[in-house]
Amino acid sequence: MKPSWTISLLSAAAIAAAAGPAATAAPQRTITVQGTGIVTTVPDEAQFTFGVSTTARTAKAALAANAATMNRLVAALKGSGIAAADIQTSEISLSPNTNDNGSRVLSFTASNSVTVKTKAIAKAGSVVDAAVGAGANLVSGPSLAPSDQSALQRRALKAAVADARARALAIAQAANVRLGPVQTVNEASSTPVTFAPSTKAPAASGTPVEPGSAQVEEDVTVAFAIR
């Protein structure tokens, strides 16, 4: 029985070895390229941070003075057309001020700031002026961006895939092969919005805020089959 078992095992191994090459499929030939899509638009949303910093002999006095000015600031922002939903407190702080060696507290400084968002960029300068007029002594911004960022990214992705197809087609024609269907698509990266300076003349008075232009870039890597 042992010789018969050995022969059967060898036969099975021989059959598997013979069938192996036939069972292995030929690798798919592909052309892999990168595509870039860029969409340019004008920002329609501005974000600022306005704050009030107040110093007084006691912590209570510093906070009270700060609160009074901050309430006037918020009222001025709302009076400038900023909706309550677009005004958000971003930071409140209170800290002591000491002498040089830190052995004695001289006073306290209270700070409060709000982040403000507006889609009326043409009137953003007047919002800054109103905030400062109401007592804001801390101002930062603007952060300018298009409000439809997701839609712009989708447009840029579509353009990136079209760019990749055009590149792959050029390679296929040069190589004298036919371009087949897409095999894989990977989103390689998404760059931040960048801004170019505006050529619009500044306003005669008030704080000017120019939107400039924004670019949204998307990059993809696409593999096409070769027929």
User: Which of 78, 111, 145 is the last residue before a domain boundary?
Assistant: 145
Domain count, the chain: 2
- Give the pLDDT score at 130: 96
Q: Does a structural domain hold residue 132?
A: yes
State how beta strands 138-145 and 194-196 pair.
unpaired
Do 173 and 95 lie in one domain? The reply is no
Contact 136, 112 (CB under 8 A): no
Tokens of 112: 């409060």
φ and ψ at 205, to 5 degrees?
A: -145, 165
Contact 112, 91 (CB under 8 A): yes
Provide the residue range defining the domain that includes 183: 27-42+149-226
Q: Does a structural domain hold residue 35?
A: yes
Q: Could you report the per-residue pLDDT of 106-163, keeping only the tens digit for each?
A: 999 999 999 999 998 888 999 999 999 999 999 999 999 888 888 999 999 999 999 9
How many residues are recorded in the chain? 227
Q: Does a structural domain hold residue 174?
A: yes
